[in-house]
Structure 1
Amino acid sequence: MKLIVVKVPVKLVSWDDIVTWASTLANKIIESKWIPDVVVAIARGGYVPARLLCDNLGISDLVSLQVVHWPSSAQVSEKAYIKYPVAQIDLNGKRVLIVDDIVDTGDSVVIAKDHVLSRWPKADVRTGALQWISTVAKFKPDYYAYEVKEWVWFMYPWNLVEDLSNFIRRIMNDEYKANSKVNWSLMELTDKLSEWYGEEILKVPLSYLSRAIASLEKEGFISRLRGNDFEIIRLVKY
């Protein structure tokens, strides 16, 4: 019997999970008796959590900045950096809550907080996230809804197509380098996704896999040969 070792375990997150965690996070903030004047969402993962928090807390001032740290799903860049800073507003004297979906390494939240304080040193800045991976994070947010003690790659409902596209790209590139494989059936690709990322990934609706494949075809990474009862997915960019 072949032993299959999952390379990157994934966990599918539902919209219900997101809503529940956002409510829990809001309650913790309310209990602390520190209510922010402004919420700063870390793009892109913090957009939805930040908007839900604003709704739960009754906050209308929501801005964003973008930190680049994960250039590809489950692959970290060498260093996090600010890609798009906060817009030209005055946050001095304001209670500012910086929000992300998850604190894993913690680099994104730290650099976002440092960025805000460097421009508005009189701001009262705190941080929040839906999830905090306590076993690997170098930074603990002031507020979090759910502590994660074992690292996995969380597939959020707002980036399923992007994650699947990146996973497929990685698999096809790896298999080409190892075995010069360029032609794939959909079943082969699905089996390999399960082998690399675990059976949890099979819970993602097939419509998202179709969109991921279409996206890769559009960018010229793959081509598709279609017949009456078959489809071949061919690697184009080696």
Structure 2
Amino acid sequence: MNIKIKLLAALKYRANGNEVIDIDANSWKDALKKLVNIYPELSIAIESDGTPKAGFMVFVDGVDYRIKDENEEAKEIYLLPVNHGGIEALLLLWEDIEKEVDTIADKIIKSDYKPDVIISILRGGVIPGRLLADRLDISDIGSMEIKLYIAAGQKGERPYMRQPVTLPIKDKRVLLVDDVSDSGLTLNFAIQAISLYMPLEIKTATLYVKPWTRLVPDFYSKEVDKWVVFPWEKKEFEKEAKSMHDLIIKSSK
């Protein structure tokens, strides 16, 4: 069975520059084992048993590998660095954020969607939400906080609401804002959660989306496959980057 493996971000440089590799294998896990045998430098991301190492993620036919049987067949595999654990970073400046927000605001205006309130997902959505409120002349700005956890006996992360919506949104048009739609788990859960407050309509906006996300927002500026480092999280980045010897930093400038 032919399985297509896609290497995202800087991982291709550990496979002679190949971004897409076809492997003949019986299962997705078998394919990853063979991949490391062919390209030993990819052992930075994959264990000898075919599972991803800390800081990396595998999606099998669009599904988190942790909820797939290891002997299950597959057509397509994504291997990628995850947020705060990747090997290639996109360092953003404040002026980059201003440009992305302008792009999103223009898209919202052209769509004729007129939000009554902005709800930002803590923490990443707070600054983009405030900037969009300024561009769209929206005075009502609220927030909500969602965390991910792995419960006992479960496979994969599960979201939960740590802080409920801080503004009344019943019968209002809501613009739900976050910084990045990565896996899409947080954004999808947030939509379900605020739907319980009976808003008139919900639209979503993020500055960036990842190519593997399972929820593409209604409005976004760009698709990126790197570890996005925002100007308001420089210290966090510096702290984590110290432990990553293979980090390749690419500035947006």
Q: TM-score, normalised by structure 2?
A: 0.60
- In the other structure, the counterpart of 2:215 is 139
CA 1:13–1:58 in structure 2 vs 1: closer, same or farther (change >3 Å)?
same
Counterparts of 1:3-82 in structure 2, within 5 Å, are 8=86, 9-69=88-148, 78-82=157-161
Deviation (angstroms), 1:81: 2.2
Cα deviation digits, residues 78-105 of structure 1 (max 9, x gap)? 2222211112x42111000000011111
Alignment-derived partner of residue 196 in structure 1: 246
- Aligned CA RMSD, in angstroms, stands at 2.4
- What TM-score results when the alignment is normalised by the length of structure 1? 0.64
Amino acid at match of 2:183: T
What letter matches 2:246 in structure 1? W
Structure-1 separation of matches of 2:92 and 2:202:
28
Q: Which residue of 1 aligns with 2:186?
A: 108
Which residues of structure 1 form unaligned runs of 5+? 72-76, 172-192, 204-238
Which structure features the higher share of helix residues?
1
AA in 2 matched with 1:154: V
Q: Deviations over 1:118-155 (max 9, x none)?
A: 2x22431110111111x21000111111123xx21111
Structure 1 residue aligned with 2:228: 154
Matched residues in 2 for 1:43 and 1:122: separation? 20
Please give the secondary structure, in 2, of the residue aligned with 1:34: coil
Higher strand content, 1 or 2? 2
Note the alpha carbon deviations across 1:151-170, whole angstroms, 9 max, x for none: 211111111111222343xx
* Matched length: 166
Which structure 2 segments of 5+ residues have no match? 1-13, 15-40, 46-85, 151-155
| Identity among equivalent pairs (%) | 32
1:126 aligns with 2:200: no
Mapped partners of 1:70, 1:152: distance in 2: 23
